Amino acid sequence: MKHKNSLLLLLGILLAFFFSSNSAFRGFLLGLGSFGYLGAFLAGIFFVSTFTITIGALIILTLAKTLSPAGLIVAAGLGAVIGDLLIFRFVKDDVAAEITPIYDQITGNHFRKIFHTRYFAWTLPVVGALIIISPLPDELGVSLLGLSEVKIYKFLLISSASHAVGMLLLVSAALLAP
């Protein structure tokens, strides 16, 4: 099948919408917080996706009241890095191969040439890292890193550092809230 990964992505989006309206499923996800650091790790994985970011954030915010802040940041950050790695491998290996010909047909090869010059080659990884740090879902930032042809070890460093900062800010906000 020519666009199987794009089809799987669309199917995943539809399933996420379906499951998000199910109160039993939402209750199950929020119950993950009772698993302590394992729940924080799983919340970190949920934190990176557009469709599960609110659930991941709620679990992390809830756990901030009972777990050590440093342990929570590490566990949730590791989970987020694993979630990002799954997205990165999917984008870098499969989706990029499907999207590139379509993108080239629409825009020609002009933008690709510009982004791969020495003046702009750093922009996609920097913008991707800033998106990962932000409270925005990580798919766009991870996709930019995947499309920028960054090596896996650099991706892991960028993702780890970005999530350490992002989780620190989220847990700090939870602890400062009344």
Measured CA to CA in angstroms, residue 165 lies from 46, 47, 52, 126, 143 at distances of 17, 14, 20, 15, 20
- Which of 18-22, 67-71, 106-110, 157-161 is predicted least confidently? 106-110
Q: Which of 21-35, 45-59, 112-126 has the highest mean pLDDT?
A: 45-59
Q: Where do the structural domains in the chain lie, given as residue ranges?
A: 4-176
**pLDDT value of position 82:** 95
Q: Which of 29-33, 65-69, 148-152 has the highest mean pLDDT?
A: 65-69
CB 164 within 8 A of CB 73: yes
**pLDDT value of position 27:** 74
**What contacts 137, CB < 8 A, 6 or more positions away?**
48, 49, 50, 53
